[in-house]
Structure 1
Amino acid sequence: MADALVLGAGLAGSAAACLLARGGANVLLLERESRAHHKVCGEFLSVEAVAHLRQLGIDPAALGAAPIKRIRLLDGKMEVEAPLPFEALGLSRHALDEVLLSRAEAAGVKVERGVRVLELGGGGVRTSHGSRTGHHVLLATGKLPIREGNNSPPRRAANGFVGFKMHYRLAPPATRRLAGTIVLALFEDGYAGLQMVEDGRANLCLVLRRSRLPFIGGDWNGVRRWLGENPALRNLLADAEPLFERPVTIANLAYGVPAHHGEDGAVLRLGDQWGMTASLTGDGMAIALRSAFLAARCVLAGDAGSYPALIADEARRQVGRAMLLQNALQRPWMRLGGLRLAQLCPPLLTFMAGMTRLPEWELSDEGSGVIA
């Protein structure tokens, strides 16, 4: 039996496994995919996420991450731009996840790839390759639902969101217009983000309510037409070369923090398994990494039961503010009023970007030793 059984080799899972192994724990990490793959993600590394990666010994800039210093908000023909309150970076999950996983393996983590988790419970999991057990189970499977014991599978979210991601090679003029900027386009029942990542690629990630999908054609062609309703976004994507054969998609996205009853530290929920923040704030990857640091610290200290309260104290305010912002922008009159205010006072946009951040993170001496 492993000291820690980690489910999922995304940001949260690989980071937690790496930290635990560096702290002397025997760690087994299970990942359902057999090789590197793309995920639906905005691929926006906020200042907090960058700081955590550097604490892990990873420099995103050295991996070719694109700098992002400004935000441009679009709604129909309305447009407003302002500086971010920090410098962010754009880096694909395809690249970043593999680097983190390799760091975990180098730290001594045993990794099993191509293993699908079927059911969680009883101090371990039932998988496509048999049972696996651990004194502590860290659930870091991202947005994928997991059946737990005798409980029914998670219900489909009422009018939940559907996510799409596509990488593009933009035309040179569009690449120059997008450089150093994240573009956030607002629509009825959804929004889209466009930014540069490594290797001169642009990442387009969007979410829309499931109920909207049939009205725009129900497929990727309909989604592209929907995106074309915004003239500025349409111009940026004109003559763009899609770099995937088909978009990466995910359904049934339920934002917010679900109720976790009976949390006692037996199962530690990391990243999106703890709670899914609104994508438009760009702090999802930061929350995943923050949860990894907290979970590893608690397990190594022999106090896993304190983790649920600690992650809630760190991240609930961010998720709450992000959800308020997302829900407000779904109302046409609030969206229009907010854009007009931001046009009159662009620093308001900078202020809002700063209000939806995680609290600053300070490592204790003990924590510093764990990641050295």
Structure 2
Amino acid sequence: MQDVIIIGGGLAGLVSALELARAGFGVTLVERKTYPFHKVCGEYVSNEVRPYIESLGVDLDSLDAARITSFWLSSPSGKLLTAPLDLGGFGISRYVLDDRLYQLGQAAGVDFRLGQSVASVHFADDQFSVGMANGDTLSARLVLGTFGKRSTLDKALNRAFMQTHGSASRSPYVGVKYHITGIDFPKDVIALHNFPDGYCGMSAIEADKYCLCYLTTRANVRQHGSIAAMEKAVLHRNPHLRAVFEESTFLYDRPEVINEISFAPKEAVDNHILMAGDAAGLITPLCGNGMAMAIHGAKLASGLATRFLRHELTRPELERTYQTGWSALFSRRLWVGRTVQKLFGQSWLSEAAVAAFGTVKPALRTVMKQTHGQIIPV
């Protein structure tokens, strides 16, 4: 029996695994893909986690992470606002960052089960039994759920948000990501370009590349028959996006796509599993800070898990303290994200929102501050 099983090898899973393995515990991490791999993600990270992620052994400068200091916001018609990012951030692909954390996890002794997936999790007699899709069964004292935006495991666990946002009420959102190059765009800027029924983020990453990631609806894609056709018919209406699509070299044969993205509130502790990252709650891409939240959440989870595994906390104390701590860190940020998202999507409302932010410029910086945290002490 292991001390900890971590389900999902994104940022929250990798950071938690690394911290717990370095603390001397037996850690198994299950990930259905094999590193390195691409993920649909905006790939901008707030500097609130930079000192912490570097303290783990990730040299962001040697990985050529872009330093981002400014924010651009455009309406569907192309009206552009600019603002400084008070805290700033960095841009780096998940392909590079996740792989580096994976290498550190290997060196720390994490047992990686790659190319595998979890079918079920059961808790009884104060321990977990984890059923693998290949028929194997693993057991552990503690399970962390870091399996992303939406998973078949959410349904297997009968999570509350799936009951209200499940098959009968499917999430309408689709996420699409590209890596591009060859465009004249400032490397210190993260831009958010709105279009009818969606918005697109763009920022520099390593090696003179940029991440271009957008959220739209299934209905928008269905209306035009394909992603490519929808991009020409809808995204190109914003002149900034039209220039990006016409001038850039696209580095993928096809885009990375994810369906059924749910921004519904979730529980940070579910079926006695500590949830972290998107499994605990997904901030809208409009606010662009999910990577920092995943890293920060992993620090919280692994720190409390260490105390539990050392018998300094009972399981009820662990679960209560984690839920309370997670809510204190992230609940308001998620609420602000969901609230701000309602101002965008419909063209007229997006135009009005950008105009309002332009008239009352401090309001835009206030919203950005509400979706970013303080620098994590190392």
- The residue matched to 2:143 in structure 1 has which SS? strand
Quick one: which of 310, 322, 327 aligns to 2:325?
310
Q: Identity across aligned pairs (percent)?
A: 27
How far 1:112 sits from its partner (Å)? 1.6
Match of 1:181 in 2: 189
- The residue matched to 1:88 in structure 2 has which SS? strand
Match of 1:88 in 2: 89
TM-score normalised by L of structure 2: 0.88
| Closer, same or farther: CA 32–93 of 1 in aligned 2, 3 Å | same
- Counterpart CA distance in 1 for 2:332 and 2:217 is 24
How far 1:138 sits from its partner (Å)? 0.6
Q: Does 1:124 align with 2:129?
A: yes
Quick one: which of 135, 138, 147 aligns to 1:141?
147
- Counterpart CA distance in 2 for 1:183 and 1:263 is 36
Q: Does 1:351 align with 2:357?
A: no
Quick one: which of 152, 172, 176 aligns to 1:164?
176
Match of 1:258 in 2: 266
Q: Give the letter aligned to residue 265 of structure 2.
A: V
Matches within 5 A, 1:1-372: 1-75=1-75, 76-122=77-123, 123-129=128-134, 130-147=136-153, 154=162, 155-156=166-167, 157-170=169-182, 174-175=183-184, 177-259=185-267, 263=270, 266-302=272-308, 303=313, 304-305=318-319, 306-330=321-345, 332-362=347-377
- Counterpart CA distance in 1 for 2:296 and 2:151 is 21
How far 1:345 sits from its partner (Å)? 4.7
How far 1:360 sits from its partner (Å)? 4.5
How far 1:292 sits from its partner (Å)? 0.7
Q: Give the letter aligned to residue 325 of structure 2.
A: L
Q: How many residues are treated as equivalent by the alignment?
A: 357
- Counterpart CA distance in 2 for 1:45 and 1:151 is 30
Deviations 1:117-153 (A, max 9, x none): 2222231321133112211001111124133696558
> Would the aligned equivalents of 1:49 and 1:285 in 2 still touch at CA under 8 Å?
no
> Would the aligned equivalents of 2:35 and 2:102 in 1 still touch at CA under 8 Å?
no
- The residue matched to 1:132 in structure 2 has which SS? strand
| Closer, same or farther: CA 310–232 of 1 in aligned 2, 3 Å | same
How far 1:160 sits from its partner (Å)? 2.4
- The residue matched to 2:263 in structure 1 has which SS? coil
How far 1:199 sits from its partner (Å)? 0.7
- Counterpart CA distance in 1 for 2:156 and 2:229 is 40
Choose 58-67 or 293-302, whichever is displaced more: 58-67
- Counterpart CA distance in 2 for 1:216 and 1:126 is 41
Q: Give the letter aligned to residue 39 of structure 2.
A: K
Q: Give the letter aligned to residue 342 of structure 1.
A: F
> Would the aligned equivalents of 1:74 and 1:186 in 2 still touch at CA under 8 Å?
yes
- Counterpart CA distance in 2 for 1:72 and 1:19 is 35
Match of 1:370 in 2: none
- Counterpart CA distance in 2 for 1:245 and 1:142 is 24
- Counterpart CA distance in 1 for 2:342 and 2:119 is 34
> Would the aligned equivalents of 2:145 and 2:273 in 1 still touch at CA under 8 Å?
yes
Unaligned runs of 5+ in 2: none
> Would the aligned equivalents of 1:5 and 1:124 in 2 still touch at CA under 8 Å?
no
Deviations 1:290-332 (A, max 9, x none): 1111111111111332212211221101101111111122355
Deviations 1:322-357 (A, max 9, x none): 111111223555433331233345444333222211
> Would the aligned equivalents of 2:27 and 2:110 in 1 still touch at CA under 8 Å?
yes
How far 1:47 sits from its partner (Å)? 1.4
Unaligned runs of 5+ in 1: 364-372
- Counterpart CA distance in 1 for 2:155 and 2:82 is 49
Choose 330-339 or 274-283, whichever is displaced more: 330-339
Q: Give the letter aligned to residue 43 of structure 1.
A: E
| Closer, same or farther: CA 224–178 of 1 in aligned 2, 3 Å | farther
- Counterpart CA distance in 2 for 1:149 and 1:179 is 41
Q: Give the letter aligned to residue 59 of structure 1.
A: D
| Closer, same or farther: CA 148–279 of 1 in aligned 2, 3 Å | closer
- The residue matched to 1:200 in structure 2 has which SS? coil
- The residue matched to 1:329 in structure 2 has which SS? coil
| Closer, same or farther: CA 150–29 of 1 in aligned 2, 3 Å | closer
- Counterpart CA distance in 2 for 1:189 and 1:150 is 31
